[in-house]
Chain A
Amino acid sequence: MEEKLLIAKVLLLNDEKAFAQLVERYQRPVRGFFLTQTGDPALSDDLAQETFIRVWERLGSFRQLSGFSTWLYRIAYNLWYDEVRSRRPMLSLDDAEGPPLEAEISLQAGQRDENCERERARWVRQAVARMDEPERTCIVLFYLQEQSTRAIARIMDMPEGTVRSHLSRGRAKLKAILENNVPR
């Protein structure tokens, strides 16, 4: 069913089945967004659940000035922003502490290629976790959630030029952290 029709059904008829279809459609990207940010599957599901509850409560204020997904991400981002401000430090996907980036990776000869991919993924996640908040979120939304810079500007409530700067700085920082720290 078309998205606008689902939204209309939820708004006018309080149709839970239509809302369930919206949740089904967007649960993966929203849970993925929070999982990338928190690294904690349980916490990310809680935040995603809270996001959909807010969508249910505030759907009446959706003005269709932007797409529904942009509006949804804006709610998710605001929730994440409040969460960061309220208490939680950034957690990496593996472990909040993790080994220092300068550490050596020692690999067994036979496992080298297989482990190499896993290790690389871990280093990338740690590098992203070490980035500053607006840059990290811009990178996550652009590369992992495949949002345009215009959509990110709406989601994060900042000018599009600022988003481009954050992306550019984020890319440079990420590259520097990875190139300076990961053994080749």
Chain B
Amino acid sequence: MKEYFDKELGTLLRESYPQPEHDAAFTRRVLRSLPARKSLLIRVLEFVASPWFLWLVIVALCIVFRSRIMESAAICVRSISSATLPDSDTLSMMIVSFTLFAFMLVTLWREAEE
């Protein structure tokens, strides 16, 4: 009897599995069954409600208040080096900045995971 496995595995598998022919009716069937896609307005609203919108707002705020943030950071560094507590305004500014920064990182991380 002819040798069964005298061929390369890929060839053997390809010969053993008939692949379907191109079927135009399949494409028509898919097109008929497509659900309606969301309109641009709905997509914009969804984006506004998503964490990404908040992310963009935070980035914009950071850019607008960059000099204030840098100033507060400098005060904080000075306070740490002199072992004193910065004033409450500076402290709250830094806490808010760090919280928002952490939120941005978490958003990016979760998105990357998905």
- Which residues in chain B, 1-40, are within 8 Å of chain A measured between CB atoms? 1-5, 9-10, 12-17, 19-24, 26-27, 29-31, 33-35, 37
- Size of the chain A interface, CB-CB below 8 angstroms: 47
- Size of the chain B interface, CB-CB below 8 angstroms: 30
Q: In the complex, how many angstroms separate the beta carbon of B32 from the nearest chain A beta carbon?
A: 10
Q: In the complex, how many angstroms separate the beta carbon of A85 from the nearest chain B beta carbon?
A: 20
Q: Is there a chain B Cβ closer than 8 Å to A4's Cβ?
A: no
Determine whether the beta carbon of B15 is less than 8 Å from that of A184: no
Mask for A106-135, Cβ within 8 A of B = 1, else 0?
010000110011001111110010000000
Determine whether the beta carbon of A32 is less than 8 Å from that of B19: yes
The SS class assigned to the A binding surface is: helix
Determine whether the beta carbon of B35 is less than 8 Å from that of A57: yes
Residue of A at shortest CB range from B26? Answer: A27
- Which residues in chain A, 11-31, are within 8 Å of chain B measured between CB atoms? 14, 16, 19-20, 23-24, 27-28, 31
Interface residues of B (CB under 8 A from A): 1-5, 9-10, 12-17, 19-24, 26-27, 29-31, 33-35, 37, 43, 114
